[in-house]
């Protein structure tokens, strides 16, 4: 979770129509349901040092990147937001 949707809402002074639980609450819920603890790493996957440190700390067998954003209206507002969307 890049937390970008929350950033968009904050910048635009809006609230999402679809409730988004906090990352902390989603991790807590996962543990309640599965009995397994998730490790959370907040950073940019374009930052190799961050990514390398995260991978070294838990040595995954596989990585699935679900990093997509629903951002078309946001990215069309101005050039700065369009560039931000492309880099995130």
For the chain, give the mean pLDDT. Answer: 84
Dump pLDDT digits (tens) for 15-52: 878 788 888 999 999 999 999 998 888 888 889 999 99
Token pair recorded at residue 61: 């067998």
Cα(82)–Cα(29) distance, integer angstroms: 34
Q: DSSP assignment, residue 38?
A: P
Is pLDDT of 67 > 70? Answer: no
pLDDT of residue 2: 65
Query: How many C-beta atoms lie closer than 10 Å to residue 32's C-beta?
Result: 8
Which pTM does this prediction carry? 0.58
Cα(35)–Cα(38) distance, integer angstroms: 10
Backbone angles phi, psi at 61, to 5 degrees: -80, -30
Mean pLDDT, residues 60-69 = 74
């Amino acid at each position: 979770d890049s937390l970008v949707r929350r950033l968009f809402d904050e910048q635009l002074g809006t609230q999402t129509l679809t409730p988004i639980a906090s990352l902390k609450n989603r991790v807590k819920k996962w543990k309640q349901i599965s009995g397994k603890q998730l490790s959370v790493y907040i950073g940019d996957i374009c930052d190799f040092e961050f990514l390398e440190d995260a991978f070294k700390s838990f040595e995954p067998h596989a990585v699935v990147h679900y990093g997509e954003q629903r951002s078309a209206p946001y990215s069309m507002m101005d050039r700065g937001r369009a560039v931000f969307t492309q880099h995130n």
